[in-house]
Amino acid sequence: MLAAAVLAAGCVTPRTAQLPDISDWERRQAVLGQVEAFGFSGRIGVKYADDGFNGKLSWDQDGETYDARLSGPLGVGTVLLEGQGRTVAITDKDGVTTVLQDVEPELQRRYGWTIPVDSLRYWALGIPDPRLPAATQFAETGELERLEQRGWVVDISRYRDAGGGQMMPARLSAAGPGTTVRLVIDRWAFPGGAAP
């Protein structure tokens, strides 16, 4: 459950997305790599070893901080995540909060798997983490369909119009050491719009 929560980071009330033209790959990376505030909502599935879970997910990003809400997995109610950088506070349905100061190695040490929290915000946007090298593969339509970064493989199998004809990921999976995460994103929100 903690895995899903960490992965799921974010809760958002759907709002109309307002994006400038990001149809060109270079412009897409430049615009989305700099966007400070965005959110999405949808569903998440996490599989690790012989275990896994599914739930509803919402993510609200504001600069380096995010709030996430994961509900439904294993009948445990709602889990809230509040993150800044590599530190994540996880609050369970009973109101008990656990703070992980360096979330990725702590997850690995405690549970035997980890999730690349630092890069997830970029991968959900359909771009590589701009701070790290990456290998990319594009569909015939020119959209990113595969990304390899940090030892993870991210596949984006579907895009949807997120406002103004700008296409954003609607279905993606990230497979890494011992963990596979699947996201289905139903709604995108860019409050105030992204910088043109």
User: Which residues touch 26 (CB under 8 Å, ≥6 apart)?
Assistant: none
Identity of the amino acid at 95? G
Tell me the C-alpha to C-alpha distance, in Å, between residue 1 and each of 5, 73, 108, 158. Answer: 6, 7, 14, 26
- Tens digit of pLDDT for each residue in 113-172? 667 777 888 999 999 999 999 999 999 988 999 999 999 999 999 999 987 788 999 999
The pLDDT, as a whole number, for residue 117 is: 76
The span from the CA of 41 to the CA of 48, in Å, is 22
Characterize the bridge pairing of strands 152-161 and 179-189.
unpaired
Assigned superfamily of 2-186? Lipoprotein localisation LolA/LolB/LppX (2.50.20.10)
Supply the pTM of this predicted model: 0.83
Each domain of the chain, given as residue ranges in start order, spans: 2-186
The span from the CA of 28 to the CA of 61, in Å, is 18
Question: Beta partners for 44?
Answer: 55, 183
Higher per-residue confidence, 185 vs 52: 185
